Amino acid sequence: MNALRPILVFPLWVLLSLSSFAQQKPNVIYILADDMGAGMLSHYRQRYLTTPAIDRLAREGVVFENSYSSAYCAPSRATLLTGYNDCRKGKYLLTRGGIYTKTVTAGLSDTEAQAKVNAIVGNEPDVQYLPQVFKAAGYVTAEIGKLDWGFATSNEQLKRHGWDEHYGYYDHIQCHGFYPMFLHENGQRIAIPGNTDPEAGKSGEWGSDSLQEQERWNRNGKQVYSQDLFLQKMLSFIRKNKDRPFFLFHPTQLPHGPVAIPAIHPEVALRTDLTPIEKSYASMVKRLDDDVAVILEELKRLGIAENTMIVFSSDNGHELYYSFKGRVEKPYRDMRTGKLFTDVADKFYSRVGGDVFDGNHGLAGLKRSNWEGGVRVPLFVYWPGKFRKGLVSKRLVTNYDFLATVADLLHVPLKDGKDGVSYLSVLQQKPVKNSPDHSAIAFGSFMGPALVTADGWKLRYYAPKKLFQLYFLPKDPREETDLASTHPEKVKQLQQVLLEKCDGELENGWFSDEKNTVEVR
C-alpha cells in the first residue's frame, strides 16, 4: 500500500504570483530618502504633514517593521551596493568630498578631479555590486541623484559598479546644497544655467537666525532646484526603457539639510504651530512624497505599473536640520535643563530634545549613533498584484539584504562571503524549507558597533568608554533599561557574536572621518 502523502494547498493569489515571477522580470525602482526617520511619514502617524504616496507603498505593499541600515549615509550606500555589513574590515574605501569644488575655486579641471578620485579608489575586481546583479539578468541600470559611493566618485567608478547611466552629483560636499552649478551625466560635466554658487546654494541651519533665514530665500544665483532635474531625468529614463527591464536607483537629497525648498508646500503654509524653518523642512518631505506620486502616475500612464516593483527606504535614522533657539538646538541637549546628552545614561528623545516632528518615531538617538533612532529605517516593498498588500513583517532585515533578495528573485549567483540574506520568501509568502534568515545583524557608528538579534536582544558598545549596554527591544524599544548588570552571560555571549561580525576587532565598527575616509588631493 502506498503511504498517504500530505497535499499542500496554497491560495490562488500565491500560485498566480509564483507563476508570474517565472514569466517576467519586474522593473525595479529603489528610492532612498536622506536622513529621514520613519516618524516623518503619516503611515507612522506624523501629525504635521501627510505623505499619501509613500503611505500607499506601505498600505498596498509589504512593510518591514524591523528594518535596519547604517548610522550615516556613505556606509549605508556602500553596504546596500555590496551586500556586506559596515563593520567588516577593508570591504570599502570612502573618499572625502570637496575635490570637485576645487574645479570652480582652485582651477582644477574636471578630468584632473576624476583622475585623482580614480587614483584612490582603484579597481575592486572581487566585489559584486548591486547593479551588476541586475545587469547579469539583462537589465539596464541607472543611478540618478546623489553619488552612489563615498564622498567623491568618478565616471570610471560608477561604470565599474555596473551603472549604464548616471546623472547627479559626484561630490558629497555639493550635495549639501540644492542649486548646483553643475552635475555630471555619464562622465560629462553639465553646467546648470542660473546656478552660480560653488557650494550649490548651501545655507545655514539655524531657523532663529534672521540672516540665515533671509539667505535661504535669497534666490540670487539659485534658479534651478536639483530635485526638479532629478525627477525629469527619472521620468525620461523610465519612458525610454518602458519596454525592457530596468533598475532605477534614486538616492535623493531630500530631506537632508541645510533645508532648501523653492516654496513652502500649501499643506503646511498656514500652520501656526511650526516655525518657518520647520515649514521648509516639512515642505521637503512633502516634495519627496509628491515626486513618488508623479512616478506612480507615470508608471500607470505607460502601462507598466503592474510590472514595476518599488522599494522605499532611508539611508539612516533621523537627523534634525531645523534648529531654533529655545525649541531644538545643536549640539543636542535636554531642552528642559539645557544639559547636553551624554549618549550613555541620557540620550536624545524627541519629547525632551525638542523635535516637534518626532522624526525618530519615539526611539532613542539620531543619525550617527548606534541607538535605535540612528539605525532603524522604514522599508516598504510594493509590487501591485504580486506581493500581498498590507502584509507587515516582523522579520529582522537590513539594507544589505536587498542585493541577496534581488539575486534570489532574478536567479543570479552570488559571490561567497556576502553578509546579506534574501527576504524574497517573505515578499512572495512562499513556503521555503530551511529559508535563511539573520540570527543577528551588526552595524557600526561614530559611537561604536552594536548588535541586534532576531529574538530582540541588543548589545550596544560605547567605544569612548569601552562600555557594553544590553537591551531587550520587544519590551524596551526605547532603550531605557540597561540589563547588562543583570544578564552578564547574555552580554558575554553577544560580545563574541559582535566580535565575529567586526572581523575580530570592535574598532572596525567605530567610525571616524580620519579612519574611514581618505583625502582626495
pLDDT per residue rounded down to tens, the chain (521 residues): 344 333 344 454 444 444 444 447 999 999 999 999 999 999 999 999 999 999 999 999 999 999 999 999 999 999 999 999 999 998 877 899 999 999 999 999 999 999 999 998 866 767 899 999 999 999 999 999 999 989 999 999 999 999 999 999 999 999 999 999 999 999 999 999 999 999 999 998 888 889 989 999 999 999 999 999 999 999 999 999 999 999 999 999 999 999 999 999 999 999 999 999 999 999 999 999 999 999 999 999 999 999 999 999 999 999 999 999 999 999 999 999 999 999 998 999 999 999 999 999 999 999 999 999 999 999 999 999 999 999 999 999 999 999 999 999 999 999 999 999 999 999 999 877 667 899 999 999 999 999 999 999 999 999 999 999 999 999 999 999 999 999 999 999 999 999 999 999 999 999 998 888 999 98
pLDDT for the residue numbered 24: 78
Domain assignment present for residue 14? The answer is: no
Q: Are residues 220 and 303 in the same domain?
A: yes
Assigned C-alpha cell, 158: 560608477
Q: What are phi and psi of 417, to 5 degrees?
A: 95, 0
Same-domain check for residues 77 and 130: yes
Instruction: Say which amino acid occupies 87.
Output: C
Last residue of a domain, which of 378, 398, 431? Answer: 431
Q: CA dist 354 to 40, 98, 325, 333, 358, Å?
A: 15, 32, 10, 9, 8
Pair 208, 91 in one domain: yes
Is the domain of 91 the same as that of 218? yes
Domain contains 193: yes
In a domain, 521, yes or no: no
Sign of CA dihedral 261, 263, 269, 273: positive
CATH classification at residue 173: 3.40.720.10
Report d(CA 382, CA 389) in Å as an integer.
Answer: 8
How far apart CA 455 and CA 439 sit, in angstroms, is 8
389 and 472, same domain (yes or no): no
Residues 247 and 406: their CA atoms lie apart, in Å, by 11
What local confidence, expressed as pLDDT, does residue 16 receive? 45
- Could you tell me which of 283, 314, 311 has the C-alpha nearest to residue 295? 311
Q: 109 in a domain, yes or no? A: yes
Determine, yes or no, domain membership for 4. Answer: no
pLDDT at position 92, please?
76
Boundaries of domain holding 472: 450-501
Q: Which residues, listed in sequence order, are joined to residue 251 by a DSSP beta bridge?
A: 32
Last residue of a domain, one of 404, 431, 458: 431
Q: Do 201 and 241 fall within a single domain?
A: yes
Contact 165, 451 (CB under 8 A): no
Report the candidate in 92, 90, 87, 78 with the shortest Cα–Cα distance to residue 506: 87
- Examine the domain organization and report whether 179 and 327 are in the same domain: yes
Question: What is the pLDDT at residue 104?
Answer: 95
What is residue 190's predicted lDDT score, i.e. its pLDDT? 98
- Residue 391 inside a domain? The answer is yes
Q: Is residue 268 part of a domain?
A: yes
Q: pLDDT at position 474, please?
A: 98
Give a yes or no: residue 238 inside a domain: yes
Axis-axis angle for helices 276-302, 226-240 (nearest 10): 10
**CA triplet 505, 507, 510: central angle to 5 degrees?**
140
For the chain, give the mean pLDDT: 94
Q: How many domains does the chain have?
A: 2
Supply the pLDDT for residue 9: 46
Last residue of a domain, one of 431, 464, 484: 431
Same domain flag for 61 and 167:
yes
Domain identity same for 133 and 259? yes
Cα separation, 100 vs 104, in Å, equals 7
Could you give phi then psi for residue 213, rounded to 5 degrees?
Answer: -65, -40
pTM > 0.85: yes or no: yes
pLDDT at 363: 99
Q: Per-residue b/e over 60-72, b at no fewer than 16 CB within 10 Å? A: bbbbbebbbbbbb
Same domain membership, residue 424 and residue 356: yes
Q: What is the pLDDT of residue 122?
A: 67
Same domain, yes or no, for 423 and 464? no
Whether residues 490 and 393 share a domain: the answer is: no
